[in-house]
Amino acid sequence: MDYRWILFDADDTLFHFDAYQGLRRMFAVHAVNFGADDYARYQEINKPLWVAYQEGRIGATELQTTRFDHWSRRLGVPAAALNEGFLHAMADICTLLPDARALLDALAGRARLGLVTNGFTALQTARLERTGLLGRFDPVVISEQVGVAKPDPRIFDHALERMGHPPRGRVLMVGDNPHSDILGGLRAGLDTCWLNIHGHPAPDGIEPHHEVPSLASLHQLLLG
């Protein structure tokens, strides 16, 4: 393994991210049987907001509240309160992806580990604490705190500054999202590894240095 540092994405790279079940859990508190059609309508609003957030056109607070505006009016509950309940629900159902802990255990002492995520501070901190992983990563870089999101290379510049400016060729960025994790890593001059669990074709113009179908395969790639 030639990498001094491994930077990981969080959602769907280390942690399961089952937004549907999180929303069902949150809305049940408000006596709403949140179903598949509701989720589809939610995603029609949520996905474009995430694109706007990653492109720097809106901030984290606007994303988190706007996606619940419809339900806020329907239930008479502030959108910010619905968002907070959703984040709590997502923390409650948090689980690690298969082989995540074994990989991190194997890397301990062999590479420095960091986390670079477009997620939100409250949720990511709660997940790291509940899974006992909070002390595994330094730095933990969260877009909500930095003010820019992947694929903007400035979030990686911030991470590298906190890492003491290691050679960029000795840093590997691992993530499941080619449009944020891989493109962002490439723009920052880092080596990249796409965790492509579902076997999707690479988007045009995005060429990761490595591609693996599982964290077990990443383990093999890095450590043999």
Q: Can you give the pLDDT at residue 224?
A: 83
Task: Kindly state the tokens that stand for 13.
Answer: 């790279």
Q: Can you give the pLDDT at residue 100?
A: 96
What does the pLDDT look like over 150-164, one tens digit per residue? Answer: 999 999 999 999 999
- Distance (Å, whole) CA 150 – CA 66: 20
Helix, coil or strand: residue 80 = helix
Task: Kindly state the tokens that stand for 85.
Answer: 């309940």
The values of phi and psi at residue 191, to 5°, are -70, 150
In the CATH hierarchy, which fold is given to the domain comprising 19-92? DNA polymerase; domain 1 (1.10.150)
Q: Where in the chain is the domain with CATH 3.40.50.1000?
A: 5-16+95-223
CATH 3.90.550.10 describes domain 5-16+95-223 = no
- Distance (Å, whole) CA 5 – CA 50: 28
Alpha-carbon distances of 141 from 9, 162, 170, 191, rounded to whole Å: 10, 9, 19, 18
In the numeric block, the tokens 């001059």 are attached to: 189
Q: Can you give the pLDDT at residue 104?
A: 97
What does the pLDDT look like over 35-44, one tens digit per residue? Answer: 999 999 999 9
Q: Which residues pair with 193 in a beta bridge?
A: 174, 210
- Distance (Å, whole) CA 43 – CA 16: 18
Active site residues: 9
Q: Can you give the pLDDT at residue 163?
A: 97
pLDDT lower than 70: segments of the chain: none
Q: Can you give the pLDDT at residue 2?
A: 87
Residues contacting residue 134 through CB under 8 Å, at least 6 positions apart = 125, 128, 140
